[in-house]
Structure 1
Amino acid sequence: MSLLNAPVFLVATDGQFGRHGLTVSEICSVSLSSPTLLFYINRDNISYEAF
């Protein structure tokens, strides 16, 4: 699995916890009228609280 090529997306925020970013391998469009994306973060991820 470590050699599997897959698209990677950069997700970033500049919220109340400051600037944070992470890469995700799966992302889904939820709405076109107001651009909204869906992605999941593991609770053990260092950036979990920021998102």
Structure 2
Amino acid sequence: MKIDLNADLGEGCASDAELLTLVSSANIACGFHAGDAQTMQACVREAIKNGVA
């Protein structure tokens, strides 16, 4: 059995990079209700670096 540990990220919390070391997939805010372009780019970079889907 494989379990997907998912998190909502990029919403302005300071712990996104740390959470990306723990999860297997992430939903990254795209700036409509939370987040901004810089936060989104940083989260995507960290997700790729950590192999997060």
- State the TM-score, normalizing by the size of structure 2: 0.24
Write 1 or 2 for the structure with the bigger share of strand.
Answer: 1
Instruction: With a CA cutoff of 8 Å and minimum separation of 6, indicate the structure with the bigger relative contact order.
Output: 2
- State the TM-score, normalizing by the size of structure 1: 0.24
Write 1 or 2 for the structure with the bigger share of helix.
Answer: 2
